[in-house]
Amino acid sequence: MDILIVVLDDFPIILKSHSQFQRLSEVGMVKTFDTRPSTIEEVIQRASGCHTLILLRHHVFFNEQIFDPLSAHLRHLAIWGTGLDHVDIDSASRFGITVSHTPGTSTQSVAEHCMMLIFAAMRDLHRLDTNLRAGKWSSAELMQLSGKILGVIGTGRIGRKVVSLAKALGMDVIAYDTQPDEDISFKLGFEYADLELVLEQADVLSLHVPSNEQTKNMISNRELSLMKRGAILINAARGSLVDESALVDALKSGHLRAAGLDVYAQEPITEDNPLLKLDNVILTPHVADKTPESVDAGMELLVNNVIEFIQKGQPIISATIDN
């Protein structure tokens, strides 16, 4: 009997139209769904009987409620992406389900997107573009990157790449991490500091930590109040890191000059989200990792993980709680 591989949520379609898709059919029978599952019951129904479940989006939290009814057949949950905040790795392990992911494949892409958001926020791009299109030849008080202080929260792959790009542009960098790496800080030329000091000193604050209970709303009213008046917040990591209500207040009051966001508390962003009405925030729809180079690398590793697990019983990169 062919091994059943289910692609749970290819919406918008990306895997089925990619050159790597054909390789899956060489190791099993592939069933794809190009709509988003709306309920846990629908997830279970789609994945019923499958050996490998490919997860492309983050619409549902995978825990015992899903793993239990699928555990008779499900052996591998293959994730496209780095983040694991939508999967209970402990629960998967208890049911004998291996979880794999694709870390490192979008590092350059996401870091460049963060720099784009920084440039756009510092140069007031949204307002200047909007005014010009409306026939207004307006001016603005712009900011220069060189000589400014970038505060980086989290110095994993993407955080370190952002540091490198910022340093190349003449920014000074300070960083906070729960596990500081002094060798990396020496190599890249930045200093670690405690969180409050980073918040107080940063002209631009960029977030690069995973979403979990410890980091939920880690930037809220208190943290925003510690930031310099006129500072900028950048978040292309996870929407749950920032208390959006507090951010809106800080932007409306002028305490923050601007923000650049690629991620949100609820995705897709809802039409009534007050962020959409502010002209001092740059918004992009969670696309920081969607360059051709990043997508190609991620799809290749995703499919390699599936093939390696089916043929050898172990993916190239297994996800662990520490990831």
Give 259's strand partners: 233, 281
Q: What are the angstrom distances between the C-alpha of 297 and each of 7, 228, 303?
A: 18, 39, 10
- pLDDT of 6-55, one tens digit each? 999 999 899 999 999 999 999 999 999 999 998 999 999 999 999 999 99
Topology (CATH level 3) of domain 4-105+291-312: Rossmann fold (3.40.50)
Given 46, 76, 238, 257, which residue is catalytic?
A: 238
How far is Cα of residue 69 from the mean position of the Cα atoms in its chain? 29
The residue ranges of every structural domain in the chain are: 4-105+291-312, 107-283
Alpha-carbon distance of 65 to 95, in angstroms, equals: 11
Average pLDDT in the 165-176 region?
Answer: 98
> What is the CATH architecture of 107-283?
3-Layer(aba) Sandwich (3.40)
Q: Do 107-283 and 4-105+291-312 have the same topology in CATH?
A: yes
Given 286, 293, 300, 308, which residue is catalytic?
A: 286
User: With 90 as the cut, is the pLDDT of residue 321 above it?
Assistant: no
91-97 LR contacts (CB < 8 Å, sep 24+) = 91/62, 91/63, 91/64, 91/67, 92/62, 92/67, 94/64, 94/67, 95/64, 95/67, 95/68, 95/71, 96/71, 97/67, 97/71
238 is catalytic: yes
What band does 1 get if pLDDT is binned at 50, 70 and 90? low
208 is catalytic: no
The SS3 call for residue 105 is coil
Q: Is the pTM of this model over 0.95?
A: no
Given 267, 271, 300, 308, which residue is catalytic?
A: 267
213 is catalytic: no
What band does 320 get if pLDDT is binned at 50, 70 and 90? low
- pLDDT, residue 323, reads 40
What band does 322 get if pLDDT is binned at 50, 70 and 90? very low
